[in-house]
Structure 1
Amino acid sequence: MSRLPVIVGFGGFNAAGRSSGHHAFRRMIIESLDDTARRETLAALAVMMGRVRFGESGWQDLEGRALSLADIEAEFGKEVLEGSLIRRIGPSFFDVDSVHWQKSATLNPENDNQRFVMKARELPEPLPANWQVTELDSRQVLVEVSGALEVKIDSFRDCPVKSAGQLPEGFDPTDLYNARFHPRALQLAVISASDAVRSIGIDWADIVAHINPDQVGVYASNVMSQLDEDGFGGLLQSRLRGGRVSTKQCPLGLNSMVADFVNAYILGSVGHTGANAGACASFLYNLRSAVEDITSGRCRVAVVGNAEAPILPEVIDGYATMGALASEDKLQKIDGSEATDPRRSSRPFGENCGFTIAESGQYVVLMDDELAMTLGADIHGAVNDVFINADGYKKSITAPGPGNHITFAKAVASARAILGDEAIRERSMVHAHGSSTPQNRVTESQIFDQAAEFFGITNWPVAAVKAYVGHSLSPASADQMMAALGTFKYGVIPGVKTIDAVADDVYGDRLHIPLGDFTPEQGIDVAFLNSKGFGGNNATASVLAPRVVERMLRKRYGEAEFESYCSRREQTRTAATAYDNAAIQGDFATIYRFGEGMIDESKVVFDADGVHLPGYAKPVSLDIGNRFNDMI
């Protein structure tokens, strides 16, 4: 009997805000919320952005003036909306109109030699053969150069890409914990994984007390590693910039650190860890590993996610040179105007010209169904399967191929085996990769259309959340997951609001790509998360709605045991709501246990029961059977 991997916690931060409590999703569908939910969402974002705060007397502005939720909407609503989702890259990253670079130049002397004074300690080693140095004093020298001199001159130029999916304006992850020398992606990993763990509503120590120490798994990675100053970026630039490598830049740059930090500083886990990378499908690669380990019984709790911070001139240069990003000049050409709207740079399935890069950190917490029932965990959905397939022989490493046809069809077939044909035809939806490139809109829609025809689907709802938050690379399908959970909760599918119409070359006869928020009459039982990555990294996940999972649990455990579980779940929901309310008010209680609770290795004990670790209620079992018994 396979264990069902159920989603008991989720959290993170992206351009739409905080994912736990469905707040980022609510930002996406804010036009469809009632007054209370809309104002609460705006207030939560206003706190994140440092515009209002919650004190002993309630909501107030920074001067201490009391505010109602209606006041916050009236005074800060427009600013909050404009300061979230995709927008013009802010100066906290770099000046898109004046990006620093170095221009090579050759200085030729007017006569035979050129002379200049410089500090002695700045002389190159060894001296160039055409340099003659005369000491002026203890600090300065006169340099005479015969012939030409090659130099690099500080210059500034316009960045052709001017928009990105950025965290809400004014929100700084370093305000939530001691992030000294942490690259931004690791900052996102810490606050996002902590948000997911806090969202469970069950103390982590209580969870661990019910399982063996090695039955926890953390599966996380990123694609671009950490390329900013505190990671590989600073490491690789140090020699060229005349600087020195720090002791942290090399280890903190590794792409596995977004898993390692979760183990070391949030969970204190001694269980399984993995960092699977599959380009833009990396979240689903990690999710598949977690699902396989839970269904097989190797793991009982899994924290799965990604964190990426690629809004850097060098990364943008790389993707822009490939022609993959939506640049200002290409947007101008599409719109037939010299003015562009940076908030509409990502246009999945519309007339588009490239994707919009974004930062994001997203994590989900999975448990096997038995543990979730025992603990009274709140179940937000379940992952019944994830499929990964490559493209075969390729001419271009970046071009799409047939692998995604396989992953998508298998994901739909796996859900059909559980739910039946009617549910697939009437109560399923697709979260498209929807990268906003001309090639993607054709190739991905063709896959959906072909699958729809085979499975008898005539009006398949398709969402593309990159229209809101951009393309965050490794967490891109995790952004989709958060939106799917939001649809399960609120019944609303976010529309592709950045396009005026679906492009003519999209295979849309059997698809419904709404331009505004859409509420299916019968609700959604299953969502298919689709992801396509450079190199032939294709993946599709099948995610079941909580109402489906509850039916499955009632059948497996019986009505009486399920009702008992529901009673235990009330306490969990109360605790989760308390965390959500505190986070709305700005108290995220970020978990970061640096050097706390370290295990004294001298007190590790081996006995007949297994390996006993100080601080853990249960041992690590050594009762490992022979998997190859038939061969012995």
Structure 2
Amino acid sequence: MTALPVIVGMGGINAAGRTSFHQGFRRIVIDKLNEEARQETFVGLATLMNLLTYTDGKLQDQDGNEVTPDQVEAKFGEQILAGTLIRKIEAEHFDPDATSWQQKLTMQSSETGICFETRARDLPVPLPRSWKITELSDKRVRVEIAGEVEVMHASTRDNPIKAAGQFPTGFDPAVLYNSRYQPRGLQATIFGAADAIHSTGYSWDTLASHVSPDEIGTYSASVFGQVQAEGHGGMMQNRLRGERVSTKNLALGLNTMSTDFINAYVTGSVGTTFTSTGACATFLYNLKAAVQDIKAGRIRLAIVGGNDCSITPEVIEGFGNMSALANEEGLKKLDGITEGEADHRRTSRPFGENCGFTIGEAAQFLVIMDDSLALELGAKVLGSIADVYTNADGIKKSITAPGPGNYITMAKSVALAKSILGEEAVQQRSFILAHGSSTPQNRVTESLIYHRIADSFGISNWPVAAPKAYLGHTIGPASGDQVAWALGVFEYNIMPGITTIDKVADDVYDERLNIATEHWQCQDMDIAFINSKGFGGNNATATIFSPNVTLSMMEKRHGAKAMECYRDKLISVEYAQQAYRHQADNAQFDLIYKFGDGVLADQDVELTAASISMTGMKNTIELPSVNPFSDMV
């Protein structure tokens, strides 16, 4: 039997809010929620954004006044809505109206020359030939310069890129644990991994105790690494700024660090560790590795995800100079605005008249296990992954241009779903979470792929949703945003429309597609296709099944009696999940951060020719004893 990879937990953070229990998805479709869900969403976001605190069983505002849950929207609703999703870049990142840079300045000396005093130790090495040095007292010198001298001067500029999909205003992962000198992306990783684990209703130790230590895997990456000052940003910039490079800058900046931090500080795993980057498809590349390992029986329990927190002037300028990002001039031209600012809430417009994508930040994580383990634990089923396909584009003229690889990944995914669930399920109860980057080229090429595949498989009115309209392009974890949306659609039967566009652009191939401009109530859906198109030809598509389909498949494999036992266990699991949900909605996240706690030394490892056991780990690791190439030896 091939194991079915089942999603039993999800966690993280993006511009819409927390991932667990669909808070971020509910923020997107908040106007379609019933009153209870709407109230819960506003309360959870208010505490996440530090507008309210939860003390002694009561919500209090920053002045210490008690606020009841039904008062939150009236008091803070406008502020919460304005402080989430895509919006003007906030000061914690940088000032888009006065972005710092170094202005090169060439000075020509006058007849009297250029003269100044400084500390002797601040003189450049080697000393320019045109500089005349006179020693003064207190280790100071006078410098006289004849001719030209080139200097760099701190300055600011008006940045043409002014919007991004940022974490909710007021949310700061650094204060939730002892984050020390860690980049923002790794802080978000600690938050997201812990959120995902807690959302399962189990502690990690309990989950891990049911499998061998080498049947656990962590699969995660970031595309840019950590580009803030604490990571590679500091390593690249500090000397140019006249500052010291830290011993941590290089190590903490590596794109493997999201995996490494989870193993070292969250789970303490000694199992499979994996990092793959595939540009904008990175989350799906790591998900593919986990799915393959689970289906092959190499692992039984996995954490899959990634982070990118790259709202920095350097990254934005890099994309901006490629004409990839939506800028003020382009947006104002689209909207016919001659004065004032562009609408920063509508910078990302997938499949509409657009002029570029909007960058975002996120950390997204899933907890996945095989179906037998999910059954044994009574784990809450959120969905399952049939497979993930990745294909390249072949020969390219431009490394950033799209190619044929995405035809292959999408066609394989749809064909697989058809072979498992049948033609009707694909034609009537499937939908697409599109890459939908919001560039003029993407809206044409991606929609053409969907149109041609729909035509080939007899699909009409195929629902297409685009998370980047609200979250921005979070790069590495972008397809994690899409997976979270898919699970939200399965839970609430609400299909998010693209409300940032007035209409679908005329050059979009939408004859067989349903690209709505408003959120709409849909029927029970069986299948989600998660599609991602990355620079360099990194195409990926995942086939995700709904909880109902997954449970039906599990019952067919394991039988009705086993499922009855499963449902009995599920009661206590759901009770534990609700306890964490209540805590998380009141910003009591209980982050897992085991810095130096339980470090294993040589003496903690017991080794025989047949197995390895370690202190603190319930199960042993059985060493290979069967020759897999017996027919060749």
Shorter-chain TM-score category? Answer: over 0.9
Distance 1:537 1:105 in 2: 42
Q: CA deviation at 1:490?
A: 0.6
SS in structure 2 opposite 1:36? helix
Matched, 1:222 2:222: yes
- For 1:453, the equivalent position in structure 2 comes to 455
- For 1:99, the equivalent position in structure 2 comes to 99
- For 2:589, the equivalent position in structure 1 comes to 588
Alignment of 1:293-332 (within 5 A): 293-332=293-332
Q: CA deviation at 1:370?
A: 0.4
- For 1:123, the equivalent position in structure 2 comes to 123
Letter in 1 for 2:332: Q
Stretch deviating more after TM superposition (126-135 or 605-614): 605-614
Q: CA deviation at 1:608?
A: 5.3
- Measured against aligned partners, the alpha-carbon deviations of 1:212-268 in whole angstroms (never above 9, x if no partner) come to 111100000011111110001100112211111111111001000000000000000
Distance 2:37 2:384 in 1: 26
- For 2:67, the equivalent position in structure 1 comes to 67
Letter in 1 for 2:485: A
Distance 2:474 2:627 in 1: 43
- For 2:511, the equivalent position in structure 1 comes to 509
- For 1:39, the equivalent position in structure 2 comes to 39
Distance 1:589 1:105 in 2: 51
Moved over 6 A (4+): none
Q: CA deviation at 1:64?
A: 2.3
Letter in 2 for 1:281: A
Q: CA deviation at 1:69?
A: 2.0
Whether the 8 Å CA contact 1:445–1:507 is kept in 2: the answer is yes
Stretch deviating more after TM superposition (307-316 or 108-117): 108-117
Distance 1:197 1:216 in 2: 14
Whether the 8 Å CA contact 1:477–1:530 is kept in 2: the answer is yes
Judged with a 3 Å threshold, the aligned counterparts in structure 2 of structure 1 residues 121 and 483 are, in CA distance, closer, same or farther, namely same
Distance 1:213 1:383 in 2: 23
SS in structure 2 opposite 1:543? strand
Whether the 8 Å CA contact 1:213–1:619 is kept in 2: the answer is yes
- For 1:628, the equivalent position in structure 2 comes to 629
**TM-score using structure 1 length:** 0.99
Letter in 1 for 2:425: A
- For 1:235, the equivalent position in structure 2 comes to 235
- For 1:49, the equivalent position in structure 2 comes to 49
SS in structure 2 opposite 1:174? helix
The one of 362, 377, 380 equivalent to 1:378 is: 380
- Measured against aligned partners, the alpha-carbon deviations of 1:268-296 in whole angstroms (never above 9, x if no partner) come to 00000011000000000000000000000
- For 1:485, the equivalent position in structure 2 comes to 487
Whether the 8 Å CA contact 1:218–1:303 is kept in 2: the answer is yes
- Measured against aligned partners, the alpha-carbon deviations of 1:488-524 in whole angstroms (never above 9, x if no partner) come to 1111111111000000000000000111112223x11
Distance 1:71 1:299 in 2: 47
Distance 1:133 1:59 in 2: 66
The unaligned stretches of length 5 or more in structure 1 are none
Matched, 1:358 2:360: yes
- For 1:573, the equivalent position in structure 2 comes to 574
SS in structure 2 opposite 1:155? strand
SS in structure 2 opposite 1:631? coil
Q: CA deviation at 1:618?
A: 1.1
Alignment of 1:330-345 (within 5 A): 330-338=330-338, 339-345=341-347
Q: Identity over aligned residues, as a percent?
A: 50
- For 1:555, the equivalent position in structure 2 comes to 556
Distance 2:162 2:239 in 1: 29
Q: CA deviation at 1:609?
A: 4.4
- For 1:15, the equivalent position in structure 2 comes to 15
Distance 1:111 1:231 in 2: 47
Judged with a 3 Å threshold, the aligned counterparts in structure 2 of structure 1 residues 569 and 57 are, in CA distance, closer, same or farther, namely closer
Alignment of 1:239-250 (within 5 A): 239-250=239-250
Distance 1:160 1:629 in 2: 64
Stretch deviating more after TM superposition (379-388 or 144-153): 144-153
- For 2:598, the equivalent position in structure 1 comes to 597
Q: CA deviation at 1:429?
A: 0.2
The one of 428, 431, 453 equivalent to 2:430 is: 428
- For 1:615, the equivalent position in structure 2 comes to 616
- Measured against aligned partners, the alpha-carbon deviations of 1:153-176 in whole angstroms (never above 9, x if no partner) come to 111100100000000001100111
Letter in 2 for 1:539: A
RMSD: 1.0
- For 1:25, the equivalent position in structure 2 comes to 25
Distance 1:155 1:58 in 2: 48
Whether the 8 Å CA contact 1:609–1:619 is kept in 2: the answer is no
SS in structure 1 opposite 2:596? coil
Whether the 8 Å CA contact 1:189–1:361 is kept in 2: the answer is yes
Alignment of 1:86-165 (within 5 A): 86-111=86-111, 113-165=113-165
SS in structure 2 opposite 1:396? coil
Distance 1:234 1:358 in 2: 21
The unaligned stretches of length 5 or more in structure 2 are none
Distance 1:206 1:114 in 2: 72
Distance 2:365 2:560 in 1: 32
- For 1:533, the equivalent position in structure 2 comes to 534
Q: CA deviation at 1:193?
A: 0.7
SS in structure 2 opposite 1:496? coil
SS in structure 2 opposite 1:287? helix
Distance 1:444 1:128 in 2: 56
- For 1:497, the equivalent position in structure 2 comes to 499
Q: CA deviation at 1:626?
A: 2.2
**TM-score using structure 2 length:** 0.99
Whether the 8 Å CA contact 1:600–1:614 is kept in 2: the answer is no
- Measured against aligned partners, the alpha-carbon deviations of 1:144-191 in whole angstroms (never above 9, x if no partner) come to 112111111111100100000000001100111111110111111111
SS in structure 2 opposite 1:294? helix
Whether the 8 Å CA contact 1:112–1:147 is kept in 2: the answer is no
Letter in 2 for 1:222: S
SS in structure 2 opposite 1:488? helix
The one of 392, 399, 405 equivalent to 2:407 is: 405
Matched, 1:466 2:465: no
Q: CA deviation at 1:139?
A: 3.2
How many residue pairs get aligned? The number is 631
- Measured against aligned partners, the alpha-carbon deviations of 1:86-110 in whole angstroms (never above 9, x if no partner) come to 0000111111100111111211111
